[in-house]
């Protein structure tokens, strides 16, 4: 008799829990997040928030979508086609200067991943060694301006090197010898991709050679969505903050969650890239106005943007007062 009652009690509890899950699911705010690129190790905290129920804890059901074209996220968010996306501080600066109504509302990666990369056997050791070299670039005009800044600091003129567009064929271009160095290669990815090919590479960090430090990856929304859905945006950033903390505290568990959500990724490369990126995940969701001001001034002075803009218009610290 007691056993029968216990079974009935367990069954009733399971039904009740199922109903509660259903109610919670119905109450979740559905949000779509557009990635900057295909899923990769830079995105691990996003998938941790998704797979570990952190988004749900904050009342959100987040659909994560890779873009068809890496140039699309900012334009689609600005047009209101998507509420949120992953982007880059330089891209936000360029877009806002072009009067697109977007803002950064959170941080994923604190410092530049972009580099000037080259094979160790090239003999390149300092930026001045790029004289007479073929330089591949991926994104114009950003990569061109970043490279020229570093070249000028190394006393190189535009006649001292040849710039060649290579799209995103970074590693193949270096391996084939069609270029001697590449601006636009990420030190956490391409350097490790080359290593897995049995080739050692090196790089110049941009922020150590004349380019101001900037946030590599940020989360963006448009002005209208932020105004009308500030609570949703705040909960999203709180969830990301929690997911980054969990990622740093339990990296193996975090990477496993990412692999579960993306079973077809190249795991050997993503393991190396994640290990390299782990210290770079955002330490705070309190964005630095000084950081935005320095890059905005750099962009205007180097003709990356054609009009002066206020740094305060580029970001919103939505968690002010939340211990972020």
Angle ∠(244,246,251) on CA atoms, nearest 5: 95
**pLDDT at residue 192, rounded to an integer:** 98
Pairing of the two strands 181-186 and 134-137: parallel
Query: What is the per-residue pLDDT across 151-190, written as a single tens digit (0 to 9) for each?
Result: 999 999 999 999 999 999 999 999 999 999 999 999 999 9
Cα–Cα distance measured from residue 77 to residue 69, given in angstroms and rounded to the nearest whole number: 13
Q: Per residue in 293-313, is it b (16+ CB within 10 Å) or e — as a string?
A: ebbbebbbeeebbeeebebee
> Which residue's structure tokens are 């890059």?
295
**pLDDT at residue 322, rounded to an integer:** 60
What value does the mean pLDDT take over residues 88-94?
A: 98
Q: Give the pLDDT band (50/70/90) at residue 324.
A: low
Residue 83's SS3 state is coil
Q: Are 205 and 112 in contact (CB under 8 A)?
A: yes
> Which residue's structure tokens are 């068809």?
68
**Residue 274 confidence (pLDDT) above 70:** yes
* Nearest CA-CA partner of 237 in 23, 92, 33: 33
**Residue 317 confidence (pLDDT) above 80:** yes
Q: Give the pLDDT band (50/70/90) at residue 276.
A: very high
What value does the mean pLDDT take over residues 60-88?
A: 96
Residue 182's SS3 state is strand
Percent of the chain at pLDDT exceeding 90: 90
Domains (range + CATH), the chain: 27-111+215-313 (3.40.190.10), 114-208 (3.40.190.10)
* Average pLDDT of the chain to the nearest whole number: 92
Cα–Cα distance measured from residue 305 to residue 310, given in angstroms and rounded to the nearest whole number: 12
DSSP 236-295: HHHHHHHHHHHHHH-HHHHHHHHHHH-TTS-HHHHHHHHHHHGGGB-S-SS--HHHHHHH
**pLDDT at residue 320, rounded to an integer:** 87
**Residue 6 confidence (pLDDT) above 60:** no
**Residue 12 confidence (pLDDT) above 90:** no
Cis check: omega of the bond before 141, within 30 degrees of 0: yes
* Nearest CA-CA partner of 146 in 207, 215, 73: 207
* Nearest CA-CA partner of 211 in 295, 102, 124: 295
């Amino acid at each position: 008799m007691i056993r029968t009652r216990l079974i009935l009690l367990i069954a009733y509890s399971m039904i009740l829990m199922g109903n509660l899950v259903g109610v919670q699911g119905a109450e979740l705010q559905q949000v779509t997040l557009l990635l900057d690129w295909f899923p990769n190790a830079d995105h691990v905290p996003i998938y941790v928030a998704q797979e570990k129920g952190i988004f749900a804890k904050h009342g959100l059901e987040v659909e994560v979508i890779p873009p068809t074209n890496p140039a699309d996220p900012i334009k689609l968010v600005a047009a209101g086609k998507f509420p949120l996306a992953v982007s880059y501080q330089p891209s936000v600066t360029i877009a806002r200067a072009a009067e697109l109504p977007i803002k950064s509302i959170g941080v994923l990666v604190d410092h530049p991943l972009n580099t000037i990369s080259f094979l160790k056997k090239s003999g390149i050791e300092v930026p001045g060694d790029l004289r007479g070299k073929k330089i591949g670039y991926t994104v114009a005009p950003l990569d061109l301006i970043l490279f020229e800044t570093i070249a000028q600091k190394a006393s190189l003129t535009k006649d001292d090197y040849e710039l060649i567009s290579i799209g995103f064929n970074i590693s193949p271009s270096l391996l084939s010898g069609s270029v001697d160095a590449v601006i636009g290669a990420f030190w956490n990815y391409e350097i490790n991709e080359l290593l897995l090919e049995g080739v050692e590479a090196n790089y110049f960090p941009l922020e150590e050679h004349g380019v101001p430090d900037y946030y590599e990856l940020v989360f963006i929304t448009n002005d209208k969505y932020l105004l009308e859905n500030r609570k949703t945006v705040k909960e999203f950033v709180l969830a990301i903050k929690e997911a980054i903390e969990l990622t740093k505290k339990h990296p193996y568990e975090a990477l496993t969650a990412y692999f579960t959500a993306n079973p077809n990724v190249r795991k050997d490369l993503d393991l190396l890239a994640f290990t390299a990126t782990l210290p770079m995940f955002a330490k705070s969701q309190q964005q630095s106005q000084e950081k935005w001001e320095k890059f905005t001034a750099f962009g205007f002075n180097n003709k990356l943007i054609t009009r002066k803009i206020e740094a305060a218009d580029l970001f919103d610290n939505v968690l002010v007062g939340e211990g972020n």
